[in-house]
Structure 1
Amino acid sequence: MHPSTPDERLRAFGNQLIEIHLWLREELTRIRDGLGEPGVRPRDLRTHCLAFCAALTRHHTGEDAGAFRVLADRVPELAPVLRELEADHHVVAGILHRVEELAEAAAPPAEVRAELDTLAALLESHFVYEEKKLVDALNALTDGTTEGLLGVPVPPPDPE
């Protein structure tokens, strides 16, 4: 892993995980809120949806290859938790694939919303569990980068 920059280490990795999860929740809410809204073009919604799916996939792939491997080596008692979280990532990937198919096919908003509602419920449970089990261990890490461990950089603050 590459050494972290001073700015990255101002916030511990576990805290950064929470920030990434908050951002992903907000993005998913924006997509769900945009479904069926007058004036929202299907193309814009599809683009936003596909970008979200890609970001979530990068995050989970990054965790599997980064943070989870590091934690498995340094905190072996977390191995069962890490296996559960990786299994969740596979379930989420299946739902994301379905969402991408629906978005590409410009499926009816109700159909897309149902799939996104399923995704939102699963992610909420997954994120809460992951944060409860891993934040302290991630905060104890002293090397690595956010992107290397968590798959994505911490999103910038929302300008709103």
Structure 2
Amino acid sequence: MLPIFRLSRLLYRLRIPCLPWLLKVLNRVLFSVSLPPSVRVGRNVTFGYQGLGIVVHRHAVIGSNVIVAPNVVIGGRGRAGAPVIEDDVLIGAGACVLGPVTIGRGARIGANAVVMVDVPAGATAVGVPARILRASRARKPASG
């Protein structure tokens, strides 16, 4: 799935007409993923189950070392702007990240969460609509 996307992205950047979009359709048919060649995807990105059911907005940006579980939507909300997913983010199964939001480095999005606001770095977002939980700090062991 990602090799087909990477080839379509290269052809898109070289401004070769039609072929990038045909490769997008091939990915859609083979893997049930909608990943347009205009999306910027970093290194070591993992799409769960070869991208099964994942839909990504054509202007979205996905950083490096991101894990996207199946049935995730990274999309718009009917106005200008698309999500920006920074590095080291985990997006749980069935989550929706909608609109011009930024998901900060190291953030976690819970399964089936609907995120429509920015998520700070290291935070966790859960629920519908998603609420932001701060990253828990490790407690010091009790001296004894």
TM-score range normalised by the length of the shorter chain: under 0.3
TM-score of the aligned structures, taking structure 2 as reference length: 0.27
Please state which structure has a larger fraction of its residues in helix. 1
Please state which structure has a larger fraction of its residues in strand. 2
